Amino acid sequence: MREVDGRPALKLRLGGAYAAFFLAMGIQLPYLPLWFQHRGLGPEAIGVALAVPMLARLVSMPLLGLLSDWLGRPKALLVALAVATACGMVLLALAADFLVILVVLAFTALAWMPSLSLLDSYASRQARAGQADYGKARQWGSASFLVANLVGGALVGMLGAGSVVLMMLAGQLAYVIATLALPELPRPEPRPAPVSGRRARLGVLAGIVAAALVQASHATLYAFASVSWRAQGYSFTAIGVLWAVGVAAEMALFRFGTRLVVRFGPHALIAVGGITAVVRFAAMASEPPLAVLVLLQLLHAFTFAATFLAMVELVSRSVSEHRSGTGQTAAAWIGSILMSSANVASGPLWAAFGPLAFLVSSAIGLAGALTALLAARLQPHSSGSGG
């Protein structure tokens, strides 16, 4: 701790950056629809407003990854995107007209949504250099998200829905400060990719698609689990506890997951995540009792956290350091496409089949597991760990 740029200080700064990033996200995901309603938007308009950021990030994510690698100053770009996002949130707080809200949302999402992938790229490079542990840094994002959910709900109850964007802005300003505290990385020398050959590159792509499929299997969970649990008669308190159990499980996995991914490799973790998703969502289709639901939520450690950690590690092992930003944003781009598609499909599936729609989630998880096993077979050799 005595040296400003020593490893303990860097670990604190990196963990702080993840924690700050997820403060605003922990307010946005559950409470921004309430702000839309406060501004007078109806259900159809809210649906459009929620879709706009998803489309915007599909445009900017790969471009910003290329820009990060071209500039060779990932910290500087993280700061610039953080400031741009904060400016967007200021404009959003002032916006009242529907079309203005949509334009500001699109502008803000262009900078905000890809920032997490670029932060993952930055963290994985520090891990590759032995300066940090990606999983242990990322766990603070999960913890912050949970705190923002709980504290944000209490503040919205006291201050009203009009305060939501202001709370998002406060979290984003914390992220601006956190990115400023990060040390800049040196520009890496261009080197050949660790993975070469058509078969090996196809294996990397298959691994990324496998992880994206396992992540997409959560779409119905995120959209309708609370609806399902409420219909079973569980209180809002019980529902909140169930979600908190899932976040706590992912935090534990992130803390110790680096050992797992080094020991077993990313493909194995993705396959385990997919198989766990088969079990988890097949069980949820039967509307199990509360005690079983708690156990199923603990499986979030494998269906989400292990799969996410494995995907970041797979990209870190497979691309040259000077292409890290491009690799991480490209993987996130593929994941966004599959998750968006699953989100769109989840509504009609739930309307038609109710909780049985979780069987489709189970099938998507199985597809992810099988794709991960195929990807492992396509790898001609083992790559070194990126940490």
pLDDT digits (tens, 9 = 90+) for 192-226: 666 667 887 888 899 999 999 999 999 999 878 88
**Which of the residue ranges 98-107, 127-136, 142-151, 179-188 has the most confident prediction, judged by mean pLDDT?**
98-107
Domain boundaries, the chain: 7-181, 198-378
Percent of the chain whose predicted confidence (pLDDT) is above 90: 50
The confidence band for 1, taking pLDDT boundaries of 50, 70 and 90, is: very low
Closest C-alpha to 74, from 124, 31, 28: 124
Percentages (nearest 5) of helix, strand, coil residues in the chain: 85, 0, 15
Architecture of the structural domain at 198-378? Up-down Bundle (1.20)
The confidence band for 54, taking pLDDT boundaries of 50, 70 and 90, is: confident
Q: Tokens representing 128? A: 């590759």
Model pTM above 0.85: no
Taking residues 3-15, what's their average pLDDT? 71
The confidence band for 385, taking pLDDT boundaries of 50, 70 and 90, is: very low
Q: Which CATH number fits domain 7-181: 3.30.70.20, 3.40.50.1820, 3.30.470.10, 1.20.1250.20?
A: 1.20.1250.20
* Residue carrying structure tokens 């400023």: 180
To the nearest whole number, what is the mean pLDDT of the chain? 88
Same topology between domain 7-181 and domain 198-378: yes
Q: Tokens representing 83? A: 């400031």
Give yes or no for residue 122 having a pLDDT over 50.
Answer: yes
Q: What local confidence, expressed as pLDDT, does residue 93 receive?
A: 95
